[in-house]
Structure 1
Amino acid sequence: MTFEEIISNLFTHQNKLPLVKELVDILSVNTNKAVEFWHYEGIPMFLLQELTNIYEILDSDKLKNEEVSYTCLVMNVLQILAANKEIRSDMVKIQLPFFFYPYMNSPHTIQKYELLRISALSYINVFVTCQDKGVIYFFKRSELIPLSLKCMDIGSVVSKILASNIFLFILKDKEGLEYAVQTLERFITIGIVLNVVLGQCVQFKSVELVRNILECYCILVTEENVRLSFANILPKNLTDERVLLKIKNDEVSKNLFQKFYSCIKNGETYNFECINDL
């Protein structure tokens, strides 16, 4: 079956799963096909429809594993497409990332919901990795901060890492950082989640999550009010011996912890690559 035939059959065949699987295989190895596929008449609307088909049954017992697998596959296609800068820009214009948010916002933690959460976070992470200035404003005015914090709180270690990447991306933007600490309630919520997730890190082999949380702390204390707050009371889990041992055993984590401590005690400044300077 040719590439054109696969696309055409998407609109006519009832069983779309094998077609979407073929699309993933083709687009993964031939990225030049991405723009051609995206600009094929009706494809953006088709993908949006397939992405949102399970909305009505998302929180019900009617949601089947087959439907979850198919939706994750559709998100995989969109993730591959988002790697292209032109397509990424189009996606922001039509506000496509918003339609991934319900999967990030789900309170459920069983496997099928976790798979949807990871797929949605992986898509958003493409925008984070590419660090396009054009998407910063879009994410700032959306509910991405509370959503990423929620995923960090209840998700698996994979979700936590992906969500912490997103949260770091927001903090590295000047206005994003200011928004994060704009109100006491918001700052307290962030502080609670970061502390809880840091405590959870001792049960994970990966050190990536520890590094992300520590860098979040380092960036947050570039705001004077936050620095003073942490200078008075350290996050509880930064005094936990198990957490400190994990930090000590990883050079990057140890350097970030030392920098954080120097910032709050000696008034040093944490220098990081600000998104605004890219």
Structure 2
Amino acid sequence: MANLPQSLFGSDPSSSSSGAVAPSTSGTTTSTTDHGEPSRVYVEKLILALRDDKTRERALGLLNKTKATREDLALLLWHSFGTIFTLLEEILAVYRSISNPNLTERASSRVCNALALLQCVASHPDTRKLFIKANIPHYLYPLLNIMNKEKPYEHLRLTSLGVIGALVKPGDEDAIHFLLESQIFPCCLRCMDVGNDLSKTVATFIVHKILMKDEGLKYCCAYAQRFYAVGRALENMLENLAEDLSHSHHLLKHIIGCYLRLSQSPRACDVLRYCLPTRLRDPTIFNLLRDDPTAMVWLQELYHNVSNRAQWTTIPTGELLASLIRP
């Protein structure tokens, strides 16, 4: 654990008023180390400033600016007294606003700053398991289930997805097991349905990472209703990809990755042989991916897996791909 000052572990009753921490974020310049990064003392003062309602909003924004340069920020946040609770308070406070159309950009940005700090904690190898053990992702699910598509709500959706994405990115089996147990799939499918392209991409990335684990693939294919829900979400995104597919390259790649992984389940492959979306044979898609060797290999493997009895692949996969990407 990081060597933290005593002031971060416990609250001094004599300093519980706003005056003790207000100077941390107002009227001061960022103190830096010899390498130009924010000093530890400066970061600790910002964390202390989170305790005061009057300085919290500014401290949230300034702390987010230190993420890229302070590798110990996650440890400082997690092991300092009351900080994670304070971040969760920010999330809980916005619950009242997500069901009505009155959420402001400022309120959304404030919560997104708190979420971004939680993402920092979720990303760090020394705090990820603690983050999961504390069941913190459960607090994000109401934000993932938002149906409003306006910008302030979209920011909440995307930043919440970023926290979950940080958990699954390393392929941590404990994290994926936890997310499956806590029913993350319905939340991701909802984001794939109502989010913008970036939210769809992150949600599909999460589903792809989960499917890459045997437990995730088994979970998805265990029941027909569950499999078809994922299939519908993937197909709908394919059909609604922007005409300028260059802006949807990453989303398309993750969609193909999900289909490929599903095709590696015998039960799912039997279905995909007859219902693989015809959009996947669109020459525009192949031309878009021609410079992405990984995506092209995924497509080849997908077609190889479903080619037996497939109704629309009547020529060898290699010849089909070659003909479609030929200038």
- Give the drift of 1:131: 2.0
- The one of 202, 211, 214 equivalent to 2:253 is 211
Q: How far 1:122 sits from its partner (Å)?
A: 0.9
1:165-193 deviation digits (Å, cap 9, x = unpaired): 10011111112111111112222221111
Give 2:119's aligned residue. 79
Aligned-partner Cα distance in 2 for 1:11–1:156: 34
Match of 2:203 in 1: 163
Partner of 1:257: 299
Correspondence 1:105-144 to 2 at 5 A: 105-144=145-184
Structure 2 Cα separation of the partners of residues 183 and 89 of structure 1? 29
SS class of match (1:26): coil
Instruction: Confirm or deny that 1:54 pairs with 2:94.
Output: yes
State the secondary structure of the residue aligned to 2:65. Answer: helix
TM-score scaled by structure 1? Answer: 0.88
Residues 202 and 243, structure 1, Cα contact 8 Å, conserved in 2: no
The answer to whether structure 1 residue 224 and structure 2 residue 257 are counterparts is: no
Q: Which residue of 2 aligns with 1:176?
A: 216
2:76 maps to what in 1?
36
Shift in Å, 1:251: 3.9
Residue pair 1:202, 1:246 contacting (<8 A) in 2 also: no
Instruction: Count residues with an aligned counterpart.
Output: 267
Which deviates the most, 214-223 or 194-203?
A: 194-203
> Structure 2-normalised TM-score?
0.76
Seen in structure 2, the aligned counterparts of structure 1 residues 236 and 15 have a Cα distance that, compared at 3 Å, is same
Per-residue deviation, residues 19-67 of structure 1 (Å, max 9, x unmatched): 1112122343112243123211111211111122110121113322211
Q: Over aligned residue pairs, what C-alpha RMSD do you find?
A: 2.0
Per-residue displacement from partner, 1:116-154 (whole Å, max 9, x unpaired)?
A: 111011111111112222212101112211211221222
Q: CA deviation at 1:236?
A: 3.4
Gaps of 5+ in 2: 1-23, 25-41, 310-327
Quick check: 248-257 or 60-69, which moved more? Answer: 248-257
Q: Residue 57 of structure 1: SS of its match in structure 2?
A: coil
If asked which structure has higher relative contact order (CA below 8 Å, sep 6+), I would say: 1
C-alpha distance in 2 between matches for 1:201 and 1:114: 18
Give the superposition deviation at 1:247. Answer: 4.5
Percent identity of equivalent pairs? 26
Tell me the amino acid that sits aligned with residue 246 of structure 2: K
Q: Provide the C-alpha distance between the structure 2 equivalents of 1:98 and 1:233, rounded to a whole number of angstroms.
A: 34
Counterparts of 1:242 and 1:4, CA distance in 2: 52
Instruction: Read off the aligned partner of 1:107 and give its amino acid letter.
Output: M
- 3-state SS, counterpart of residue 61 of structure 1: coil
What is the CA distance between 1:211 and its match in structure 2? 1.3
Give the distance between the partners of 1:232 and 1:9, measured in 2 at CA. Answer: 59
Partners of 2:197 and 2:251 in 1: CA distance: 8
C-alpha deviation, 1:212, in angstroms: 0.9
Select the residue among 272, 280, 291 that pairs with 1:238: 280
Aligned in 2, Cα 1:197/1:14: closer, same or farther, shift over 3 Å? same
Q: Distance in 2 between matches of 1:163 and 1:208?
A: 12
Conservation of the 8 A alpha-carbon contact between 2:97 and 2:103: yes
Q: In the alignment, which residue of structure 2 is the partner of 1:185?
A: 225
User: C-alpha distance in 2, partners of 1:250/1:34?
Assistant: 34
CA distance change for structure 1 residues 250 and 130 in 2, over 3 Å: closer, same or farther? closer
C-alpha displacement of 1:194:
0.9
Structure 1 residues 231 and 7: CA distance shift in structure 2, 3 A: closer
Determine if contact 1:198/1:243 at 8 Å carries over to the other structure: no
Equivalent position to 1:16, from 28, 33, 56: 56
Aligned to 2:134: 94
CA distance, structure 1, for counterparts of residue 279 and residue 250 of structure 2: 17
